[in-house]
A and B are shown apart, each in its own frame.
Chain A
C-alpha cells in the first residue's frame, strides 16, 4: 500500500506531471507571472475550464503548483522546488560524471603526447 507519506516524497508524481505539454505550458505561464487564478490561466489555453482544472490538480498533487486563497479567489503559484530536487538527485549526478569523464580524457590525451 502506498501511504500518504511516501506519496508526497515521491518523484514519480513529478515526472508524470511534467510528461504532458499542457501542464508544462501551464508551468511556463506561471513562471512568467505567478499567483494566477484558474480563469486567467484558462484564457490562455484552448481548453475547457474543466480540462485546465484537471491539469492543475495533477500539478498540485505533484507539488509543482501551490494554491493560496485570497479573498474569494484561489491563486496558483509555481513551486520550483520539486524540479530542483530532481535536478540535485538525478541530473547533477550524471552530468558531473560526464564532465569528469571529459576531464579524465583530456588529461590522458595530454599525458600521452
Chain B
C-alpha cells in the first residue's frame, strides 16, 4: 500500500533565497571553518564523496555549559554534487533521547534563479520525533532549528556578519 508508506514519511521543507552565488552557499555548508560562523557555531567536517563521513563538533560553550561530548552529530554523505546538491544522513548523538532515534536524511539543493540562489533543505525525520521537533525550531531554548540556521546563513552571506554580530 503506497498510501500507508506516504503517511508514515515525515518530511520538513525549509527554503530561503540568498543573494549570493551557489558556490558561496555550498562552501558555507560544507567547509569546516564556515560552519563555525553561523547557526549553532560548531565546526563540521565533510568527506565530500558518497560514503564519506560527516561530523559536527561541540563548540566550547556547549562543552562548558551543557557538558556535550566532542562529537555531537554524525552522518554519512550519500551524494555530493557541488555546488548544487548534497544528500546525507544526519544523526545527533549529544543526548540519549536523540541517539536512540534512527538517523535522519538531509538534502540540500541550491538553484540559481535570476542572479539569486534558492536553498532548499529537505529533512526526512521519519521515525525521529524528538529530532523533528528540534530541527523545526519547536523546542524552547534549543536555538530555533533550521529556520534560525538559514536566517543566520542568509544574513552572514549577504552582510558579512552573522545575526549575533549585527550592530
Chain B residues numbered 142-167 whose CB sits less than 8 Å from any CB in chain A: 144, 146-148, 150-152, 154-155, 163
Chain B residue with Cβ nearest A88: B151
Q: For residue A28, give the distance in angstroms from its CB to the closest CB of chain B.
A: 14
Q: Note all chain B residues with C-beta closer than 8 A to A88.
A: 151-152, 155, 163
Q: Give the interface residue-count category, chain B.
A: 20 to 34
Q: A81 to B19, Cβ gap below 8 A?
A: no
**How many residues of chain A have a CB within 8 Å of chain B?**
22
- Whether B154 contacts A85 by the Cβ 8 Å rule is yes
* Interface-facing stretch out of A41-49, A62-70, A100-108: A62-70
Asked if A3 is at the interface of the complex by the 8 Å CB criterion, the answer is yes
**Also in contact, A79 and B13, with CB within 8 A (given A4-B114, A8-B113):** yes
Residue with the greatest number of chain B CB neighbours at <10 A, chosen from A63, A77, A81:
A81
Closest to A76 in B: B13
Question: Within 8 Å of chain B (Cβ to Cβ): is A21?
Answer: no
Which residues in chain A, 62-113, are within 8 Å of chain B measured between CB atoms? 63, 66, 68, 70-71, 77, 79-85, 87-88
Chain A residues, Cβ within 8 Å of B152: 88
A84 CA / B17 CA spacing, docked (Å): 13
Is the contact region of chain A dominated by helix, strand, or loop, or is it mixed?
mixed
B120 on the A face (CB < 8 A): yes
Are B150 and A81 closer than 8 Å at their CB atoms?
yes
Kindly state the separation between the CA atoms of A79 and B16 in the bound complex, as whole angstroms. Answer: 9
Given A34-B11, A34-B12, A77-B13, A84-B116 contact (CB < 8 Å): no
**Contact, CB under 8 Å: A9 / B137:** no
What residues of chain B have their CB less than 8 Å away from a CB belonging to chain A? Answer: 2, 6, 9-17, 19, 113-116, 118, 120, 136-137, 144, 146-148, 150-152, 154-155, 163
8 A-B contacts (beta carbon < 8 Å): A4-B116, A9-B19, A77-B13, A79-B13, A80-B147, A84-B144, A84-B147, A88-B152
